[in-house]
Amino acid sequence: MPMKIAAVRLFVEEMAAARVFYAEQLGLKSVSLDETVLVFDAGPLLIVELADDEAQSEGLVGRFAGVSLGTSDIEALHDRLKASGSTIVGGPERQAWGGMLMHVKDPSGNVLSFVQQS
């Protein structure tokens, strides 16, 4: 049986800010919005988890996530996130393979990538 990615986990320091960013600003479809864990349907599940002491000490908050979320209009997403005060690490840029790529920090400093295929 072939394997596929089932879920991606990100650790955050503040759940209220994470809920606003992921649910409202990005508009991801929520599966579960708990006090310590947010789950979104983003292809595979995107699990946003409140970092406990162990996650904090291991440096799991505020890092490059290695996650790329697809969008059909990266310029509009850029404008919306910029207007909301999100930190844009790298604005929309055409890539050699033809698509567009952008990097943004979530409220805990995790860097997410957004990709628009041409």
Is the pTM higher than 0.85?
Answer: yes
Residues 17 and 107 sit within 8 Å (Cβ to Cβ): yes
How far is the CA of 95 from the CAs of 28, 37, 81, 113, in angstroms? 25, 34, 21, 13
Contact 86, 105 (CB under 8 A): yes
Q: Which CATH architecture has domain 7-116?
A: Roll (3.10)
**Residue 1 confidence (pLDDT):** 80
Domain limits, the chain: 7-116
Tokens representing residue 70 in the block: 């697809």
* pLDDT tens digit sequence for 62-76: 999 999 999 999 999
Q: What is the mean pLDDT of residues 2-15?
A: 95
Question: Residue 118 pLDDT more than 90?
Answer: no
Q: What is the mean pLDDT of residues 23-46?
A: 96
Residue at 25: amino acid letter: Q
Question: What 3-state class would DSSP assign to 117?
Answer: coil
Quote the tokens at residue 30: 């929520």
The mean pLDDT of the chain is 96
pLDDT tens-place string over residues 74-113? 999 999 999 999 999 999 999 999 999 999 999 999 999 9
